[in-house]
Structure 1
Amino acid sequence: MLAAPTALAQEVPLVFGKVTAADFVAAPADSAAPAVMLCDFGQSKIVGGREGFQLEYVRTARILIRRKAGYPWTTVQVPLYRRNEQTERFKKLKGITYNLVDGKLIQEKMAENAVFKDEQDKNHTSYRFTLPNVREGSIIEFTYTVESDFLFNLQAWRFQHTIPTRWSEYRTVIPAYFRYKQITRSYLPFAVQEDKPVPYNTRMSHSFEGLAPAQEYNINTQALSSRWVMKNVPALREEPFMTAQLDYFSSVDFELSTIQYPNQEPRDVAATWEAIGTELLQQEQFGRDLYQKSTLTAQISALKARLPEPRERAAAVVALVQQTMKYNGQEQLYLTKTLKEATQRGQGNVADVNLLLVQSLRAAGLDANPLLLSTRSHGHVLESMPVLNNFNYVVAHVRLPDNTELLVDATEPVVPLGMLPKRCLNGNGRLLTAPAALGRWVSLAPTQR
């Protein structure tokens, strides 16, 4: 049985369904904007659930669509994380479009069939929904809940968007058993930034072996209540020479660092890059295939006999992979299925292409390993925060016998050996090795090697 925690109540900045005619009036500062985020309000709490604690995240947003260029804001995507048989749960979705017709406020609710589920990779899915009957001057409003058993995945919050935001607020309630590191990125001041202790009460259920039904009990302790508010936030526009626009949005991020239950020693649960690398290299849809025999063994054997010079051999392997598999434009860390199946299909995502490249370079007698990176559109990697979601791309790292290092990407036939496509030139990448202790950060700049 799930029970929400009791903490000191605060007035909320936005109540779903309470739109008035005054909300349709655009401020002079927003006159050039295609849309305006009138209010974006998020709340994350750790609550009692079945067999333990879980995260509950609620987002409610209201947006004024001023011009047709703002129509993309009527479609919302909600990412969800999953691992093995567990997955985050998308619930309680409601959406309404409001229009003023002859001074009368007309509402149209979003249909249930306006929601679509998208499979992304083995660890990520998303739900996508679109608000109905939107025209220039409409207001859209939506609210939804995400429940998660992954306590490490406390929702980040973005206060700034590519449209103006009049009010953005995020709140968290974290019981005393849990400690999160907080990473704030902002060039703008907070109107409110506060932390305070509050009483905390929740109900949890637990099944004990041999006892049925599950036993329910109350938990009473202290919690840390945090609140961040930004007002009248300007739109962030992409500027020349801006490598990663995502890095410039005002935001707050979290990493679970410590868990300490009553009468127990504190337990450090913060991830390390070494542990992430070890796990990834063992996963079936990433590293395990690298140790299997390449489907291109016959062609590679011929290359080895014909091209004794390592750099020439590496270039020939890249060309062979490009002839074998075409890149489908999808930036993903995980294989679609297996390298053998991807080779048979003749096309694949970036992991399919470049992990086949790593496997083939090794078959050609070269020292090759996968290197994870984040593309410019995905933002810079926070090296101090070991989280796999920081990355969305993988390339091959090759060390030649003379210790020259090459970064190689087989998705782009026109890019010379040792250079990466422009989209990849974004700070540093993480080299994955076995043993993991030899993994390190590698500059993605082409002049460094």
Structure 2
Amino acid sequence: MKPIILLVFALFFSIPILNAQDFEYGQISNDDVILKNTRLDSNANAMVIREFGTARMRLDDASGRLFVDFQYHVRLKIFNKNGFEHGTITIPLRIRKEEDDRLVDLKATTINYADGNLTRTDLDRKKFYVEKLNKYTSLTKFTMPDLKDGSIIEYSYTIQSPYIFNFRRWEFQSDIPKMHSEYIAFIPAYYNYHTSLRGALKFTTENAEINNGCLNINGVMVNCSKMSYIIKNVPAFIEEDNMTAPSNFKSSINYELSDYMLTNGTKFNVTKSWKDVDRELLADHDFGQQMKKKEVFLPLLPQILKNTTDELSKAKAIYSYIEKNIKSNGFIGYSSENTIKKANELHSGNTGDINLALMAALSAAGLDAEAVILSTRANGAVGELYPVLSDFNYVVVKVNIAGQSYLLDASEPYLPFGLLPLECINGKGRVFSLTKPSYWHDLTANQKRSTRTILTGTLSPDGKMKGTLSTYSLGYAAVDKRERISRSTSVDDFVEKLDEQMPNIKITSHKIENLDSINNMLIETYEIETQGFDVSNPDQIFYNPFFINRTSTNPFNLNERTYPVDLGSAREDRIIMNIKMPENFILADKPKDIGIALPNAAGRYMAAIALDNSTLSVSQTLQLNKPIYEPDEYLSLKEFYSRIIQSQKTDILFKTK
């Protein structure tokens, strides 16, 4: 909400203090002292005994502004040293020039029980510090004093926030279990908020009632809706790999301001239509006006396009120019920070500068280019029911050529033309054009994560193997590998680290092709040596051929997963090995050839082993054909990987003639 609206509206409001159902600070019971983690989760290193929060609006007399005051109070128990990390507290605060969140009334206490006595140690206020996460967020941090096994820690604070658009959200779930989580929100009658519930948990108690006399408006007492929510025995939210933002799936309640009304009956709609947003964004200096600045690139086009013959080659040439000429400054956003003209001159900018420059350059070349704003996977899901621009934090470009659309992000240096970062593959994006209304577009990966590995080697009677290992990477596999190599000081440094990560394999020489040719396959060739088997018992020689990219741990370990497995893209890995064995080796036993399939052709794993004319042939194929697997497919995935692990544990048995 804009400050001017807040100032005008604040003139009418006076808010008295209201007491919600908080629990008494520092009053520890015997039940708290003897509490064991077996109460909810025997694997828990810490547990919330009780937490309480409340949020309400308040008129600040000094500034004449409206604030949302959020009060938080929690008591939790540390069961062992592994739970000490929960004694380090981080409180994020928004910083926006004159609209900073303010942290007040912070207090924290550690309570220990020993020899029949309770000892209390209060946090020294000099012990907390403030760290700037980025230009939008600061972090207040402190560590609870005198932590021991069995410590009970308790702290409370109030955040005074000028952001009434997003009334304070509440997360019932965290990474440790909670015995009791309670939230009360006081919503003034003149405010309407869109309320959304996330997560799989059900409320233990949910109550709505009228709180009389919540506000005094020009001498008239106005009521509030008092919304109370309680969930008891809350399980910990366990994060696994292959997921979008945890906030999408944790049980929580979220608010966004829809409209409000003044005392004279005048109503202001905060939630706008996309038609309104289209008009505002296209007129915005940092977004729409930058999209239109074709003149920045018109003088540069003859040189950029000198070797192009058609629209697709023009688009690729412009993409290559922007990607190489404007480097990311490390900040993301869907609007420009410095104008695309300055970004091009300084060769640096945020994602908005870079990709809005890309759109302007494509448009200058007569191509049909559009801007797509989206929310990254870490930022969370975008609601499609009504426009909420604060949901979005990134912009890419959509160029339409000969009936086909290409999504482009020139801010990432190792992305080939037409491939978005996996971080951007998150639901839908909103497309903005200079000539037509905005619309939704699915953000999907048009390439899979693909690798093909070929090993050709010779195994000597002493168990040593020498050979050539070649890996061919395409799509996201190539992007990831190029990024890993770029983080090393050189290719030699990368190979040295790779050699250290594979203790059973020694790399004697290497060659990497197409490292800078991002539109081509990345090819790695290594000459390797390895000890294949133990020669102490020549009558029984055990050899495991699954030593390349072996699956040793199951990535899916939960008994139940309530959120999707989101890989971002499909995946395919193929491994082919041809190893010349000693002439006197006889194949006595080998793992059975295996073929495992997921239901509905969602994936498969195949492995086959054969010995022919003293050449051992091993082939493996792993395919995951879907970018997203729903929660009801989780147990199938878990079993799928368990069987792969078991099959790769089995050795080949050789005997000598």
Coarse TM-score class (shorter-chain normalised): 0.7 to 0.9
* 2:419 matches 1:419: yes
* 2:311 matches 1:310: yes
- The answer to whether the 8 A contact 1:179-1:256 is kept is yes
Q: 1:41-99: per-residue Cα shift (whole Å, max 9, x none)? A: 221112344446542222223344444466277242324264xx651431314142515
Which residue does 2:132 correspond to in 1? 118
Which residue does 1:208 correspond to in 2? none
**Greater Cα shift, 180-189 or 363-372:** 363-372
User: Match of 1:167, SS?
Assistant: strand
Which residue does 1:443 correspond to in 2? 442
- Give the aligned residue type for 1:424: C
Which residue does 2:327 correspond to in 1? 326
**Greater Cα shift, 267-276 or 292-301:** 292-301
> Structure 1 residues 52, 367: CA separation in 2 closer, same or farther (over 3 Å shift)?
same
In 2: Cα distance, 1:357 partner to 1:373 partner: 17
Equivalent of residue 96 in structure 1, options 108, 119, 139: 108
- The answer to whether the 8 A contact 1:95-1:131 is kept is no
- The answer to whether the 8 A contact 1:182-1:252 is kept is yes
- The answer to whether the 8 A contact 1:21-1:105 is kept is no
- The answer to whether the 8 A contact 1:185-1:252 is kept is yes
In 2: Cα distance, 1:175 partner to 1:439 partner: 34
* 2:84 matches 1:87: no
Alpha-carbon deviation of 1:219?
4.0
Which residue does 2:428 correspond to in 1? 428
**Greater Cα shift, 355-364 or 250-259:** 355-364
In 2: Cα distance, 1:131 partner to 1:304 partner: 58
Matches within 5 A, 1:248-267: 248-264=249-265, 266-267=267-268
Equivalent of residue 76 in structure 1, options 90, 93, 106: 90
Which residue does 2:72 correspond to in 1? 59
Which residue does 2:48 correspond to in 1? 37
Alpha-carbon deviation of 1:174?
1.7
Which residue does 1:175 correspond to in 2? 188
- The answer to whether the 8 A contact 2:37-2:46 is kept is no
> Structure 1 residues 193, 366: CA separation in 2 closer, same or farther (over 3 Å shift)?
same
Which residue does 2:400 correspond to in 1? 399
Matches within 5 A, 1:207-222: 218-222=219-223
Alpha-carbon deviation of 1:199?
0.6
> Structure 1 residues 153, 218: CA separation in 2 closer, same or farther (over 3 Å shift)?
farther
Alpha-carbon deviation of 1:193?
0.7
- The answer to whether the 8 A contact 1:201-1:219 is kept is no
Largest Rg, 1 or 2: 2
Which residue does 1:292 correspond to in 2? 293
> Structure 1 residues 274, 162: CA separation in 2 closer, same or farther (over 3 Å shift)?
farther
> Structure 1 residues 345, 68: CA separation in 2 closer, same or farther (over 3 Å shift)?
farther
Alpha-carbon deviation of 1:311?
1.6
In 1: Cα distance, 2:71 partner to 2:215 partner: 17
User: Match of 2:317, SS?
Assistant: helix
Alpha-carbon deviation of 1:284?
4.1
> Structure 1 residues 92, 218: CA separation in 2 closer, same or farther (over 3 Å shift)?
farther
**Greater Cα shift, 416-425 or 141-150:** 141-150
* 2:374 matches 1:373: yes
Alpha-carbon deviation of 1:333?
3.4
Q: 1:131-184: per-residue Cα shift (whole Å, max 9, x none)? A: 344745454444333334443221121111122222221111122222222111
Which residue does 2:175 correspond to in 1? 162
Unaligned runs of 5+ in 1: 205-216
- The answer to whether the 8 A contact 1:43-1:57 is kept is yes
- The answer to whether the 8 A contact 1:6-1:202 is kept is no
TM-score (norm 2): 0.58
Alpha-carbon deviation of 1:321?
1.9
Equivalent of residue 152 in structure 1, options 148, 165, 177: 165
> Structure 1 residues 341, 194: CA separation in 2 closer, same or farther (over 3 Å shift)?
same
Equivalent of residue 200 in structure 1, options 213, 219, 237: 213
**Greater Cα shift, 103-112 or 422-431:** 103-112
- Give the aligned residue type for 2:37: A
> Structure 1 residues 410, 133: CA separation in 2 closer, same or farther (over 3 Å shift)?
farther
Which residue does 1:5 correspond to in 2? 16
- The answer to whether the 8 A contact 1:315-1:417 is kept is yes
- Give the aligned residue type for 1:427: G
In 1: Cα distance, 2:83 partner to 2:355 partner: 37
Equivalent of residue 37 in structure 2, options 10, 19, 27: 27
User: Match of 1:307, SS?
Assistant: coil
Which residue does 1:209 correspond to in 2? none
In 1: Cα distance, 2:124 partner to 2:313 partner: 59
**Greater Cα shift, 337-346 or 305-314:** 337-346
Q: Say how many residue pairs are matched.
A: 428
> Structure 1 residues 39, 314: CA separation in 2 closer, same or farther (over 3 Å shift)?
farther
* 2:240 matches 1:229: no
In 1: Cα distance, 2:145 partner to 2:292 partner: 53
User: Match of 2:378, SS?
Assistant: helix
- The answer to whether the 8 A contact 1:54-1:148 is kept is yes
- The answer to whether the 8 A contact 2:93-2:100 is kept is no
In 2: Cα distance, 1:190 partner to 1:304 partner: 61
- The answer to whether the 8 A contact 2:373-2:431 is kept is yes
> Structure 1 residues 108, 301: CA separation in 2 closer, same or farther (over 3 Å shift)?
farther
**Greater Cα shift, 133-142 or 230-239:** 133-142
User: Match of 2:237, SS?
Assistant: coil
In 2: Cα distance, 1:10 partner to 1:95 partner: 19
- Give the aligned residue type for 2:310: E
> Structure 1 residues 162, 71: CA separation in 2 closer, same or farther (over 3 Å shift)?
same
> Structure 1 residues 392, 94: CA separation in 2 closer, same or farther (over 3 Å shift)?
same
- The answer to whether the 8 A contact 1:40-1:169 is kept is yes
